[in-house]
Amino acid sequence: DIWIITLTDKERTGIGECAPLPGLSLDNFDQIESKLDEICQDLNHFLTDLSLLSDFPSIRFGLEMAHLDLNNGGGQHYFSHFKSIDINGLIWMGDTEFMVSQVEEKLAEGWKCIKMKISAIDFDKELEILQSIRSRFDQNELELRVDANGGFTENDVMVKLEKLSKFDLHSIEQPIKPGQWELLSELCQKSQVPIALDEELIPLIDEKDRIKLLEKVIPQYLVLKPTLLGGFFESKKWIQLAEERNIGWWVTSALESNIGLNAIAQWTSKMQPKGFQGLGTGQLFTNNIPSPLNVDQGILSSNNSPIWNDVNQFISDWYSPNDEMTLHTSGSTGSPKSIQVKKEWMRNSANLTGNTFGLKEGDSTLLCMPMKYVAGTMMVVRALELGLDLTIVEPSSNPLEGISEQIDFAAMVPIQLENSIDQLDKVKTLIVGGGQVEPKLIKRLQNVPTDIYETYGMTETLTHVAIKQLNGSNKSKFFQALDGVHFEVDDRGCLVIHTPMLNPNPIVTNDLVDLVDEASFRWLGRVDNVINSGGIKIIPEVVEAKLTAVISDRRFFIAGVPDESLGKKVILIIEGERLDISLDSLEKYEKPKEIHFIEKFRVTTSGKIYRNSTLDMLRE
């Protein structure tokens, strides 16, 4: 279990993590939540003196993290100027063939240091595995570390260390159980395998006891786990004591989520350690929190793409105690605005999507849209709430270009879909929103193996409340409501949405629809786009659908402009150079009175045309 700690002021949120390990942490698990409540009641008292939390090192670490983040502006910016870190790879115990195959795989991936747990199976068998590895990879090819987790006894430790010395090991962590300082001192003097202290450090709170340990035992290395030692400040104290005595050290994570691992990695980079660090335990989780950290060829780095600033800040705000969040509309159909929504509604929306598309914990998903709008934020919410493995790329018109792994679920806008058709085999299920999918594009999707759905929704509905499949055997012309959603129309013929789990109030739209029943409809167009020309109401989107057959390679739209005799007359605006087109597919009253050509339309970040703004260009 982990506990998330957030500190907020009016505009910023700092986030920290309390992740005690049963059997290792000093924290009393039965008292953690009551202690956290006590801290919340008198925060400044504890912030000004973190030593008050000496008996709760994981809480102390989480509070220190959150305070550092808040002071640095939030967004999980604990320390600046992150530099990549060499880390060790972890090899699971098994038979010789399995172990060697893992090592070969790690070497092929560029790993230069491997850490193996020992004392888990028969020791002679473990020696055989180490011998098999060393017979193929010498110490110049591979740095090999072992961790006994206190598994050796006073009776067998020297014999076992002697046998291990044949394999040119870098070190062994905690060969015997903590508290045996006399024996440890003897081992550190006599063992040919350098000894690193790990669990031995955890109970030592007072500096005088730490000094006593180091001067009594004189180990070769210390293994520093900030979660178990009480945070960065306390870990730095250990470093100072070690370096004063020429004792080496490295930093290791301790099964924190990616929030804690991110903070530890930033601090480790700041400390400029020598050698390989143990910062890969976050990979053990299938439902981890999204993180900019990346491991490649045994090197831990951080993705510096701007979108990660937005993602990290959103995650911090998501875990804050506020039960509402501020979302922003795109402004493509009106003035941009901010709205307040409850986190409970966002969770409901995420679960609704998960149930609709059969998403399960560990499934892979892709965020490739800006976080400033609801489509991007809800992809992060789905990952957090459903336990999805989220890949994040900087928004672009071709988001699959750098994707090598298979994606179970993704969301795009039409322009991204159009530019990704040749790579859609990377995606199992794709939803498309933020604008109408043109018929000519739908035609190109028919032989694509991906299940592709056009969605209907808006910021107020927290993305989609209805979908229609664009390809495959279930292809449809009608939007179908998600479970618990139903529709009606008002006296204008516009859609009214009832979705109590996402918004307790009916949502009245400006979308003209052909309502089939309370769960399905065909979208016609926007009522605010309707042109009253000589008493005849013309829906631009209906006319545009007819013209896609003759204007197949350009963006265009139908609009109405003032006219003395008709009130408004229909005009056609086409992007690009002049071309001849046939209007024979249109009814007489639908045919534009004028055709204009504009070099480049004004569009939103999602590719929607700013109709009014583009129309203004004719008057400029």
Tell me the C-alpha distance between 87 and 483, whole Å: 47
- Collapse the DSSP code of 68 into the 3-class scheme (helix H, G, I; strand E, B; otherwise coil) and give the result: helix
- Is residue 345 within 8 A of residue 507, CB to CB? The reply is no
Set 160, 225, 468, 608: catalytic member: 225
Cite the beta strand spans of 9-54 per DSSP E. 13-18
Could you tell me which of 328, 323, 365 has the C-alpha nearest to residue 346? 323
Q: Give residues with Cβ within 8 angstroms of 432, minimum separation 6.
A: 411, 412, 413, 414, 417, 452, 453, 454, 455, 470
Could you tell me which of 452, 406, 418, 409 has the C-alpha nearest to residue 432? 452
Query: For 95, how many CA atoms within 13 A lie in the half-sphere containing its CB?
Result: 1
Q: Which ranges of 290-422 would DSSP assign to H, the alpha helix?
A: 307-318, 343-357, 374-386, 414-420
Largest CA distance in the chain: 106
Tell me the C-alpha distance between 429 and 450, whole Å: 6
Tell me the C-alpha distance between 8 and 320, whole Å: 7
Eight-class DSSP state of 390: E
Tokens at 332, concatenated: 């493509």
Active site residue 117: yes
CA 501, 502, 507, 511 torsion: positive or negative? negative
Tell me the C-alpha distance between 233 and 214, whole Å: 19
- Is residue 426 within 8 A of residue 406, CB to CB? The reply is yes
Burial label, 23 (beta-carbon count in 10 A; 0-12, 13-18, 19+): exposed
Q: What are phi and psi of 530, to 5 degrees?
A: -60, 135
Could you tell me which of 2, 66, 56, 68 has the C-alpha nearest to residue 26? 56
Q: How far is CA 458 from CA 375, 440, 462, in A?
A: 9, 24, 6
Tokens at 308, concatenated: 């990660």
Tokens at 246, concatenated: 């020429």
Tell me the C-alpha distance between 68 and 76, whole Å: 9
- Collapse the DSSP code of 292 into the 3-class scheme (helix H, G, I; strand E, B; otherwise coil) and give the result: coil
- For residue 466, the cross-strand partners are 456, 481
Could you tell me which of 620, 613, 530 has the C-alpha nearest to residue 335? 613
Q: Which residues are catalytic?
A: 117, 225
